Chains A and B, each alone.
Chain A
Amino acid sequence: MDLQEIISEALSTLTLNKMRTGLAVLGIIIGIGSVIALISLGQGSQKSIENSIQSLGANLLTVIPGGTSSGGIRTAVGTATTLTLSDARVIEEELTDTTVAQVSPEYSARSQVTAGRNNTNTNIVGVEPQYAQIRKIDVSSGTFISEIDLKGLAKVAVLGPTAASDLFGEGIDPTDQSIRVQGQSMRVVGVTVSKGGSGFNNPDDSIYVPLSTAQKQLFGDSSLTSIAVEAKSQDVMTQAQDEIGYLLLEMHKLKDPTSADFSIFSQNDILSTASQVTGTFTALLGGIAAISLLVGGIGIMNIMLVTVTERTREIGLRKALGAKKKIIISQFLIEAIFLTFTGGMVGMVIGIGTSYALSNFFSLPFAISVQSIALAIGVSGAIGILFGWYPARKAASLQPIEALRYE
């Protein structure tokens, strides 16, 4: 009996028992599909976290006021008004030659904003033009705040996409429309590209105005709420942090670093926290993959064990009619390979489709890796073939009469 005959016997057995074949393939589809979908969703979430971190800006140091002590009471970080525009200018002048690439002084405050009959309470950010580069903000229509706007205390505003849709409605371009902030009319000159954030300082739900306008015209406050500093490279981050610290201590006439009335946050701090998060996530992902592989594998194992075991009598009959052990094992092995292969292919398509649909639904980036597919198909396939082969071998090793009598 040659291989071609064994294959055709295996295939005809599979096609004759459509229900059994269908169930076995379904088991494998679910096993492999769920593993691929889960791994892919996990990878998508991981990518989403990484993207959020990337979008914070590269090599970023943030100086914020705070930590002043007066009469034994230490005020909370971020609430003091000790940073000024001249601090930012000095950092720029003194350190641009060594470690600092760009400096962006910022003033932000929450305010009620109206446009026609719509109003919203949002974050007004006074910025200089370089804010866009440092904070990685892109404009989808119109322009960002310019140097001329800054010098002329222009009453112009750039809206974040959420703020724009809150004030003007979804899909309407608000450029050249006017909004009212703090009783003053401002002309909208641009809308930024969505960065996909949420929370209190959501860049999508912000309105950017020239720093000079914010300080002098809108809020009448000469302090800054933060200074963002972009270091020249990742390597000089620590050095830049130290230099800014000493420079500001000197500017503020403070001798002791412990009495500093400002704090400097390095993106390294955020990154190390974030890498802990992604590390936990990777572990979680591994756990999900391992559990789904286990569950999928057990499902496949069950269906293969059941189908082969219920065929013990058939194996006995085939042996009684002259089939050699090797031939029977080959036939069952071919059946298992065929089932696993068919189920694996369909499962892969369904798994990818499911994860695509789910990542759209949860607005996560869609990520799929060849490794995860290979892992799912490799492990589940090996289990399918192993548990198609092993009980068949066991049954084929029985005396034909024992197999025939098997109930």
Chain B
Amino acid sequence: MIAVNHLSKIYKTDSVETMALSDVSFNIKKGEFVAIMGPSGSGKSTLMHILGALDLPTSGSYTLDGDNVSNLSEDELADIRNKKIGFVFQAFNLLPRTTALKNVQLPMIYAGIKKEDRIKLAEKYLTLVGLADRMEHTSSQLSGGQQQRVAIARSLVMNPSIILADEPTGNIATTQAEEIMEIFEHLNDEGHTIIMITHEQDIAEHAKRIITIRDGKIVGDIKNGKRRNLKS
């Protein structure tokens, strides 16, 4: 479903060129749960932005569901982000002073879904992440873990091809982080494709496959067998 071929990204600031990604290639199939690991500066965030259609590669190709994302216009990219990708950010990125219900509806507003349908879907996914009784709470009235669960509900409402999570547990307490990871595992069991960026080994252990990246190159790509054991 995801095909990345010889992907490179070069940042230019003044006269200095920084090679953030250098000739990266891999495939991700439907239903996988992939963790992309690496220290800061390794290029994992750059990779995540390109996979999320938030940024374009300098060279190489990125194909998502048969669309070559590197060739698309800005508006087409917006459509891809809206319909095929669900984002979960480290900083949650919820609208301030806005209720959970309204936050979850936002991608559906841009998709042009009718209000009654929006509310029904938003309620369904907020219930799924365990926030049935917090729908009218605004971001500041929720804990970090609860805010991230709102963000996960938001990433699910458009039924995207992939869920992209960038350090989803980076800003929340350890106990709540475990709850978040359980939600991701549950979603993966239901067939959702999840790509998660992290630098924490124990968080990465929740995934079925771990891609390690260093200095813009893939240095490891292993199946992770521990997950089932962890669950038991």
- A residues apposed to B, CB below 8 Å: 1-2, 5, 9, 12, 16-17, 313-314, 317-327, 399-401, 404
Contact = CB atoms under 8 A, between A and B. Distances in A.
B173 to A, nearest CB: 23
A314 B158 CA distance: 20
A321 B54 contact: no
Contacts of B83: 322
B110 A321 contact: yes
A313 B107 CA distance: 16
A268 to B, nearest CB: 68
B128 interface: no
Contact of B54 (A12, A318, A327, A400): A400
A325 B54 contact: no
A234 B154 CA distance: 82
Contact of B74 (A2, A317, A321, A325): A325
B72 interface: no
A5 B54 contact: no
Contact of A322 (B49, B96, B102, B111): B111
A322 B89 CA distance: 15
B95 A399 contact: no
A233 to B, nearest CB: 72
B78 A322 contact: yes
A148 B55 CA distance: 102
Contacts of A400: 54, 81
Contacts of A314: 95
B52 interface: yes
Nearest to B138: A16
B93 interface: yes
A322 B54 contact: no
B153 to A, nearest CB: 13
Contact of B52 (A1, A320, A323, A325): A320
19 contacts: A1-B111, A16-B95, A17-B96, A313-B93, A319-B78, A319-B81, A321-B107, A321-B110, A322-B79, A323-B82, A323-B110, A324-B75, A324-B78, A324-B110, A325-B74, A325-B75, A399-B54, A401-B49, A401-B54
Nearest to B95: A314
Given A314-B95, A322-B110, A400-B81, 19 more contacts: A1-B109, A1-B110, A2-B112, A5-B109, A16-B97, A16-B98, A17-B96, A319-B78, A319-B81, A320-B52, A320-B87, A320-B93, A321-B110, A324-B74, A324-B110, A327-B110, A399-B54, A400-B54, A401-B49
Contacts of B154: 321
Nearest to B89: A404
B106 interface: yes
B102 to A, nearest CB: 7
A79 to B, nearest CB: 80
B95 A320 contact: no
B112 A322 contact: no
Secondary structure dominating the interface of A: helix
Interface of B: 49, 52, 54-55, 74-75, 78-79, 81-83, 87, 89, 93, 95-98, 102, 106-107, 109-112, 154, 158
A16 B79 CA distance: 27
A320 B54 contact: yes
B137 to A, nearest CB: 14
Contacts of A1: 109-112
A390 B49 CA distance: 27
A9 to B, nearest CB: 6
Contacts of B78: 319, 322-325
A400 B52 CA distance: 10
Contacts of B111: 1, 322
Contacts of B52: 320
B55 A9 contact: no
Contacts of A318: 106, 110
Contacts of B87: 320-321
A320 B55 contact: no
A322 to B, nearest CB: 2
Contacts of B96: 17
A370 B173 CA distance: 62
A315 to B, nearest CB: 11
A325 B79 CA distance: 11
A190 B53 CA distance: 91
A321 B98 contact: no
A95 to B, nearest CB: 83
A204 to B, nearest CB: 62
Contacts of A322: 78-79, 81-83, 107, 110-111, 158
Given A12-B102, A322-B83, A322-B107, A17 B97 contact: yes
B81 A321 contact: yes
Contacts of A399: 54-55
Contacts of A326: 75
Contacts of A320: 52, 54, 81, 87, 93
B75 A401 contact: no
A326 B73 CA distance: 13
Nearest to A313: B93
Contacts of B89: 404
Contacts of A2: 112
What are the 4 tightest A-B residue pairs by CB atom distance, in nearest-first order?
A322-B82, A401-B54, A322-B110, A321-B107
Contacts of B54: 320, 399-401, 404
Contacts of A5: 109, 112
Contacts of A401: 49, 54-55
B93 A317 contact: yes
B117 to A, nearest CB: 13
Nearest to B82: A322
